[in-house]
Amino acid sequence: MLKSNPSVSLVFAAALSFAGCASTPKPMPEAAPPTTPPAATDSVKSDAPVPAVPLKQPKPMELVVQARQDTPLVSLRLVFHTGSIDDPKGKEGLTSLTAKLMAEGGTRKLTAAQLLEALYPMAAELKVFTDKEMTTLSGRVHQDFLPRFLELYTDTLLEPRFDPAEFERLRANALNAVRNGLRSEDDETLGKVGLDALLYAGHPYAHFTGGTVQGLQSLTLEDVKAHARRVFTQDRLVIGLAGPVDATLQQTVTSRLSALPATGAPRVALPAVPSSAGRTLILQKPTLSTAVSMGFVTPMRRGDPDFFPVAFALSNLGEHRQFVGMLFNELREQRGLNYGDYAYAEHFIEDRGNGTFNRTNLVRTQQDVSVWLRPVVPTNAVFATRGAVYFLDQMSKQPLSQERFDLVRGFLQGYTRLWEQSDQRRLGYAIDSLFYGTPNFLESYREALKTMTPESVNAAVRRQLQPEKLAFVFVTEDADGLAKTLKSGAPSPITYASPKPPELLKLDETLIQQKLPVRPDAVQVAPASEFMER
Average pLDDT, the chain: 92
The domain ranges of the chain are 62-257, 280-528
For residue 511, give the 3-state DSSP assignment.
helix
Cα–Cα distance measured from residue 492 to residue 273, given in angstroms and rounded to the nearest whole number: 33
What pLDDT was estimated at residue 151? Answer: 97
- The radius of gyration of the chain's CA atoms, rounded to the nearest angstrom, is 23
**Three-state secondary structure readout of 402-451:** HHHHHHHHHHHHHHHHHCCCCHHHHHHHHHHHHHHCCCCHHHHHHHHHHH
For 159, list phi and psi in degrees, rounded to 5.
Answer: -135, 55
Distant-in-sequence, close-in-space partners of 494: CB < 8 Å, separation ≥ 6: 335, 380, 383, 508, 512
pLDDT digits (tens, 9 = 90+) for 173-191: 999 999 999 999 899 999 9
Q: Tell me, what's the pLDDT at 323? A: 84
> What's the mean pLDDT in 72-77?
98
Question: What pLDDT is attached to residue 45?
Answer: 67
Q: Is the pLDDT of residue 246 over 70?
A: yes
What does the pLDDT read at residue 372? 95
| pLDDT attached to residue 1 | 33
Distance of CA 176 to the CA centre of its chain: 21
Q: pLDDT for 255-299, tens place per residue?
A: 999 999 999 999 999 999 999 999 999 999 999 999 999 999 999
pLDDT of residue 13: 45
According to the CATH classification, is domain 280-528 in 3.30.830.10? Answer: yes
With a CB cutoff of 8 Å and minimum separation 6, the contacts of 56 are 35, 434, 435, 436, 437
- Give me the mean pLDDT over the 224-239 stretch: 98
Calpha distance 526→77 (Å, rounded): 40
Contact 15, 281 (CB under 8 A): yes
pLDDT-derived band at 47 (thresholds 50, 70, 90) equals confident
Q: Which CATH number fits domain 62-257: 3.50.50.60, 3.40.220.10, 3.30.830.10, 3.40.50.720?
A: 3.30.830.10
pLDDT-wise least confident of 37-41, 236-240, 314-318, 393-397: 37-41
Asked, colleague to colleague, whether 62-257 and 280-528 share their fold, the answer is yes
Distance (Å, whole) CA 392 – CA 325 = 12
In angstroms, the CA 224 to CA 219 distance is 8
Asked if pLDDT for residue 11 goes beyond 80, the answer is no
pLDDT in tens, 101-142: 999 999 999 999 999 999 999 999 999 999 999 999 999 999
Lowest-confidence pick of 7-16, 268-277, 332-341: 7-16
- pLDDT of residue 3 exceeding 90, the answer is no
